[in-house]
Copies of this chain bind each other. A is one copy, B any other.
Amino acid sequence: MDCNHKLKTDSKHICSNYHEAIEFIGRRWMGMVIYSLMDGPKRFSELADEINGISDRLLTERLNELIKEELVNKTFLEDSSKKVEYALTERGMSLKKVIEAILAWIAENEK
């Protein structure tokens, strides 16, 4: 692992972030919310429809956590001051490789 071959201070820092990062993306429904936003910005109701089984409360919570971590932007749509849309930021979109690695791992182990 890269982490072990760096300077100790660096590796400690990165490992600590690894710990936070893996548990962040592994929070209940978090992976599904990120996945669902990968193909473009969506309204709250679109996300709720697409992610089968998530409650409005948990969807709100996960979206707020993603916004706080600057992985998602909340934008007011031009035609309304009430209608909002959620979109992955560049940082959020770069999680695509992590998701792809998980999908590849699943596919590999289903053989």
Contacting residues, chain B, for A82 (C-beta < 8 A): none
Number of A residues near B (Cβ < 8 Å) is 41
Nearest first, the 6 closest Cβ-Cβ pairs linking A and B are A26-B26, A22-B31, A101-B101, A98-B101, A17-B106, A97-B101
B3, B22, B107, B109: the one contacting A91 at CB < 8 Å is B109
> Is the Cβ of B94 less than 8 Å from the Cβ of A109?
yes
What is the predominant secondary structure among interface residues of chain A facing chain B?
helix
Known contacts: A22-B25, A91-B109. The answer to whether A1 contacts B98 by CB under 8 A is: no
Chain B's closest residue to A4 (CB) is B39
A26 to chain B, nearest CB (A): 1
Chain A 82-111: CB-based contact to B (< 8 A → 1; otherwise 0)? 000000000100111111111111111110
A38 to chain B, nearest CB (A): 6
Interface assignment of A32: CB less than 8 Å from any CB of chain B = yes
